[in-house]
Structure 1
Amino acid sequence: MTVSKRDALLDTAERLFYTEGFHATGIDRLVNEAGVARMTLYHHFPAKEELVAAVLARRHRRYLAVLRAALDEGPGDSVARLVDAHCAWLAERSAHGCMLVKAMGEYEHHDPAVHINALACKREVIGVIREAAARDGAGDPERLAGRVYLILEGATQALPVTGAERIRADARALLGAMHGREAP
C-alpha cells in the first residue's frame, strides 16, 4: 500500500514531535525524513501550527477509537475496559508520556489555539469516561469520571518510571479500591 505524501508528513511529524518536541523539530528535518519537498508540506499545511494541529487531531481520533472500541465490547465493566484500553495504548504508542500534554506545555504561550485544542481533547476523554461510568450505573458518573481520569493521567506519566508491566495492574487495583473490591 502506498502512503500519500500528506500521510507521510503526518506520520513523520507525529514521530518527531513526540520524541523530540514540537519546537525542536525543524521543517528541513521533517521534509527530509518524510521524503517530500518543502512545497508539498506547505501545500498541505501552510503553517507549522496547522501541521501540529493535524497531527494531534489524528492521534486523538485514533486514541478515542481505541476507547470507543473498549466501550462497544458489551455491557458491564465499561470503566475497567477503558482502563485496560488506555494501558494498552500506553504500552504500544505512548511510552514517553502524553503528546497532548506535551503540546499544551510547548504551546500554552506560543500558540494558544494549539493549547486550547489539546485541552478540548482532554475534556473529550473525560466525557468518554463519564459515559462509561454511566453505562456501569455509577451513582455519580461525573465524579467517577474525574477520578478515573486522574488514574489514567497518572498511569501515563508513570509509564516511563514504572514500566508497562505494572501500569495496568496498578490502575486496575486503584479502580477496584474505588469500588471497595479487589481488582482482577
Structure 2
Amino acid sequence: MSAEERLADRRERLILAAYTLFASPGFHATTIERLCATARISNRAFYECFSGREALMRAVYDRCVEETLQAITKAIDQAPPELDARIVAGITEYVKFVTADERRARIMHLEVRRAGDVLSNARQRAVLDFTKIIEGTVNDLPVHQPTELHLLSLALIGAVTELLIEWVVSDHPPATEVIVKTAVHVFRRAFIR
C-alpha cells in the first residue's frame, strides 16, 4: 500500500473502532489507548489520523448523519407525492435506519450530547440538515405552510430526537413501530389540517 492508502486504512479502522466504543462504553469512557488497541494501530499513528478523540467522534458522528440523511432523502423521493405519504416514508425510514444499529442511535442521540461543547457545532449542522429536508418536503407541495416553518421544523426534530433518546436509554424501550406512529402523529398535526 502507498502511504496515503495506509493512512486511509488506519483512519477507517479508527472510525470503526470508535463506532463501537463510543456507543459503549461511551465517549468519555473510551481512551485513545483503547481506541488504538481495538483498531490495532499505535498511539503515534492515531495522531497522524486525528488531532484527538473529539475529532474522531466528529468523524464518526458526521458519517452517521450523512448515511441517515441519504436514507431519508431516498425514502422521501420514492414516496408518493402527497405530503402524508412523504411524512410517513421519511419518519419510518429515519427511525428504521437509526435503530437498525443501536450504536448509530446511541452516537447520534446520546453520545453526541455527552461529548459536550466539542461537538455542538457538528450537532447544530446536522439539525439544520434535517430541518432542510422537512422544509424542502413541505415547500415542494401546495399545502398550508405555518408562518414559522423553520422553527416548527426544529421543534419536530426535537420531538423525534427525544423519542429516540427514550428508545436508547429506557430499560423497556418502546417498539420502533410505536415511535414511528407517535412521530407521524406529531408531524400530521403540524402540517396536515
Q: TM bucket by the smaller chain? A: 0.7 to 0.9
More displaced 10-residue stretch of structure 1: 72-81 or 47-56: 72-81
Q: Residue 164 in 1 paired to residue 176 in 2?
A: yes
TM-score between both structures, scaled by the size of structure 1: 0.79
1:168-179 → structure 2 map (5 Å cutoff): 168-178=180-190, 179=192
Q: Equivalents in 1 of 2:54, 2:154: separation in Å?
A: 30
Return 5+ residue gaps in structure 2 as ranges. 1-7
Equivalent position to 1:104, from 101, 113, 116 = 113
Q: Residue 31 in 1 paired to residue 36 in 2?
A: yes
1:110-149 → structure 2 map (5 Å cutoff): 111=118, 114-138=119-143, 139-140=145-146, 141-142=149-150, 144-149=152-157
Q: How many corresponding residue pairs? A: 174
- Counterpart secondary structure, 1:130: helix
Deviation at 1:177, TM superposition (A): 4.3
Per the alignment, residue 4 of structure 2 pairs with: none
Deviation at 1:143, TM superposition (A): 5.4
Aligned-residue RMSD, C-alpha: 2.5
Which structure is higher in helix share?
2
- Counterpart secondary structure, 1:155: helix
User: Given that residues 19 and 60 in structure 2 are in contact (C-alpha distance below 8 angstroms), is that contact kept between their aligned partners in structure 1?
Assistant: yes
Per the alignment, residue 95 of structure 2 pairs with: 87
Equivalent position to 1:150, from 158, 174, 192 = 158
Q: Residue 21 in 1 paired to residue 21 in 2?
A: no
1:50-89 → structure 2 map (5 Å cutoff): 50-74=55-79, 75-76=81-82, 77-89=85-97
Deviation at 1:48, TM superposition (A): 2.1
Deviation at 1:45, TM superposition (A): 1.0
User: Given that residues 151 and 171 in structure 1 are in contact (C-alpha distance below 8 angstroms), is that contact kept between their aligned partners in structure 2?
Assistant: yes
Deviation at 1:144, TM superposition (A): 4.8
Give the fraction of aligned pairs with identical amino acids, expressed as a percent.
Answer: 18
- Counterpart secondary structure, 1:72: helix
